[in-house]
Chain A
C-alpha cells in the first residue's frame, strides 16, 4: 500500500475502534494475497453494527461463528519487510463473553 493511501484510511479508525457488533457470516481464509499470506488462516466476517453492516478481518488465527459478539480493534493487517510500511487496520475480536447463536 502506498503511504498516501495508508494515511487516508487512518482517518476513519477512531470512529470504528471499540464498536461492537454481531457476526452475520464468516469464513476462514486459508489462501490469501502475498501481503497477507503470512497471516493465514484468518477469519473474514460480515458484521452487523446496529443498522450498518461492514466486513472485517478477524484478529490473529481466531475463528468466528455466526452470532458471535465482536469488537473492533486496531491490529497489524499485512506482512511487511524492514523497508516498507507496517500496515495496521481495523479488525474484529470476539468478546470474551460471546457464544455462538
Chain B
C-alpha cells in the first residue's frame, strides 16, 4: 500500500502569548485540510500528538478537543512519546491506513509551553526521564553527559558544537515560521551562558508554542509526496543502562527499519530534518543515521558539509534549535516541512528523525517527492 501526504500546515513557532492551545490546534488542522483540497467531513480519523498539555495547560483529553472541531466528530486518539510524540502519531496513522481501517486521516501535533516559567518547563520536560532513576537530572544535563563522552572518545570540540547552532540559525532565516530569525557567530555560541557543562544556552533548543498537521491518504495521489519507509527504535530510558553513550541505538534501529522499508541507503537522502534538541544531538543524529562516519559529525558540520554546499542538507527549517521545539508538534512539523520542500521540487528524497527523551524512543521517516 502507498501512503501519500496530500496536505500540510505549520503554525508560527515561538512565544505566542496571544494564542491558546486550542487556537493553535485548530489553525494547524484547518490549514492542513485546506492544503489537501479537502473538506473537514473527508477526515475519517485524527491522531493527536502532545506531550504535556495536562501539565502546561491543565488540559487533558486532547483527542476530544480535536474531534469536537468537526461536525461529524471523527474518532480521535492522542499519542504521547515525549518529544517523539509527533512522529509516533504519524506512525500510528500509517498503521491505521495500512490496516485498511481508514483511507484519509489527519495527524496534528501541538504544544503550548510558554505559559509557565522556564524552571517549571524544565521540570515538566524532565518528566520524560525516569523520574525515579534519574532524580536531579535535567535534559540539558543528560545531553551534557552524552556530549562529554563524545568529546572524550572522538575529540569533538566546542567549536564544532557551536557550528551546529550557527548553521541552523542561518537556515531559519529562510523559514518564516521559525521562532528565531537571528544570526549567531561561533564565538557567541561558545561564550553563551552555561546550562550544564559543556552545554550552553545557545546549544539548547528553545521553549516554544506551536502546532503542525499533515493529511495522509491511501488513495492514489499523483504529485503528492509519498511515505516510502518508517522505523521506530527503543532503548533504555535511563542513560546508566545504555550499551553506549556515544551512539543513540534507538536512532540506528529506527533508521535500519526505515531504510529497509524504503529500499534506500543513507547516500540516497538529499535533505533531512533531524532532532537537534541540543547541538550535540544533531552530531549524534547525522552519525547514527549513516550520513557521516561515526565520530566525524562535528567536523562535517564545521566544514559546511551539512548545509547547502554539502552532500546532505541537514535541518533546512532551522531544526528544533532555531525553528523552535513545541515538543508534541515537532515530529509532525518535520514531516510537514519536508513534504513542503518535496512538493516544491527542491529535493526528491528526504528523511525525518525525531527522538523522545535522551534517546529512549526514535522514529525515522523517508519520503519521496
Closest partner residue, chain B, to A44 (CB atom): B141
Chain B nearest CB, measured from A51 CB (Å): 12
B138 touches A29 (CB 8 A): yes
The verdict on A29 contacting B241 (CB below 8 Å), with A34-B119, A34-B120, A44-B196 known, is no
B240 touches A53 (CB 8 A): yes
Contact code string A1-30 (vs B, CB < 8 Å = 1, else 0): 000000001000000000000000111111
Closest partner residue, chain A, to B126 (CB atom): A33
A29 touches B196 (CB 8 A): yes
Question: Chain B contacts of A57 at CB under 8 A?
Answer: 135-136
Task: Say which residue of A9, A25, A32, A46 sits within 8 Å of B138 (CB atoms).
Answer: A32
Question: Chain A contacts of B133 at CB under 8 A?
Answer: 54-55
Main secondary structure of the interface of A (DSSP, over half): strand
B134 touches A55 (CB 8 A): yes
User: In A72-101, which residues have CB < 8 Å from any B CB?
Assistant: 77, 89
Task: Say which residue of B119, B145, B193, B196 sits within 8 Å of A46 (CB atoms).
Answer: B145
Chain A nearest CB, measured from B151 CB (Å): 10
Question: Chain A contacts of B119 at CB under 8 A?
Answer: 31-34, 37
Chain B nearest CB, measured from A24 CB (Å): 8
CA distance in complex: A27, B245 (Å): 14
Question: Chain A contacts of B149 at CB under 8 A?
Answer: 25
Q: Does B144 belong to the interface (CB within 8 Å)?
A: yes
CA distance in complex: A57, B144 (Å): 14
Contact code string B174-206 (vs A, CB < 8 Å = 1, else 0): 000000000000000000011111110000000
CA distance in complex: A27, B197 (Å): 5
Instruction: For chain A, give the interface size range.
Output: 20 to 34
B123 touches A33 (CB 8 A): yes
Q: Does B263 belong to the interface (CB within 8 Å)?
A: no
User: In B228-242, which residues have CB < 8 Å from any A CB?
Assistant: 238-241
A-B contact count (CB 8 A): 84
Chain A nearest CB, measured from B199 CB (Å): 8
Q: Does B137 belong to the interface (CB within 8 Å)?
A: yes
Contact code string B128-140 (vs A, CB < 8 Å = 1, else 0): 0000111111101
B136 touches A31 (CB 8 A): no
Q: Does B122 belong to the interface (CB within 8 Å)?
A: yes
Q: Does B148 belong to the interface (CB within 8 Å)?
A: yes
A77 touches B140 (CB 8 A): no
Task: Say which residue of B134, B137, B196 sits within 8 Å of A28 (CB atoms).
Answer: B196
Question: Chain A contacts of B194 at CB under 8 A?
Answer: 28, 30
A36 touches B148 (CB 8 A): no
B123 touches A34 (CB 8 A): yes
- Which residue of A29, A34, A36, A42 has the most chain B CB atoms within 10 A of its CB atom? A29
CA distance in complex: A19, B82 (Å): 33
Question: Can you list 19 residue pairs at the A/B interface with Cβ under 8 Å?
Answer: A25-B145, A25-B148, A25-B149, A27-B197, A27-B199, A28-B197, A31-B138, A31-B140, A31-B196, A32-B122, A32-B136, A33-B119, A33-B122, A33-B138, A34-B123, A44-B137, A44-B141, A54-B240, A77-B136
A-B complex: 3 closest residue pairs judged by Cβ atoms: A33-B123, A57-B136, A27-B144
